[in-house]
Structure 1
Amino acid sequence: MNIAKTISETILGQDVTVEECETLSAAVTKRNLTAGEVLFEPGTKDETLYLLISGKLEVIKVLGNNKTIHIDTLKEGAMTGELSFIDGNTHTMRLVAKKDSEVLMLHKDAFESLVEKEPMLTYHVMRSILRYSHVMQRKINTKYLEMHRMVQNQYTAEY
């Protein structure tokens, strides 16, 4: 597998150059997940950025007492763990492989070792994370507006 080419085909690859993908390929590690295997749990902290290179990951909100809510399904090329990677806080969701999957992992320590040597690479990675976060925020806002409209229409229809 050409890891640099694989990185270039992810969301992260939209903001980094071919040369930067080569540099990143030396900093990442690969992890294989079997269907049903947990990538991370809420409340855990690993400061790792994950790139889904094959398979699917289910994003689950754990409510307690064995209650969960399906939030989203991540597909090949997706990025996850970005907030924990940046701010060092714990994960808030459970991520589970829906089918056999592979992720590339960029740990914060490996990334920070590139900051002085590759400042444009670090800028491009951070820009990619910010761009992805904006996409996610717009998605959340759209869902909120849809839900608000449904509740408002239901309330209006009752009166």
Structure 2
Amino acid sequence: MILDRSMSFDGPNFVPVTTTRDSTDVLDVGSNRDAGSGGGLYLLILSNRAFAGGTSVTIAMQGAPDNGSGGEGTYVTYAQSPAITTANLNAVPGMLFPINLPRQPFGTVIPRFLKLVYTVVGTFTAGALAASLLRNRDDAANYPGAVVMAGV
């Protein structure tokens, strides 16, 4: 996993998420973006595991096309997490919202601008997230061995 500051929505340090807000940064991924087929980009969201006071947070990935003059057009929600409870924010350090980009909803244009929207239920008195796009995921599935050999 390689973290790139230019691909961070919030970070590389943890940024407080105590009330509903947009990500600190909006990513301009360019007008002629092509991440290639099969490779894609992944969204990594890390928790500092210090959330207190609130109930949950929902994270939405939104994208907007160029408005014709190089600015942000109307944002559309491309993906949204379920409500992530305080207990889960404090238990899981990373991969809170593992989605694969760049697929956009049917009938929408490929976005030039990307941002996150954090919708908080309650008011957190503490807690912070760091969010970035990655080229490769930082997780692996561990499976039990399929073959058991005696004496080996």
TM class, shorter-chain normalised? 0.3 to 0.5
Q: Which has the higher contact order (CA 8 A, sep 6+)?
A: 2
- In the superposition, the TM-score normalised over structure 2's length comes to 0.34
The answer to which structure has the higher helix fraction is 1
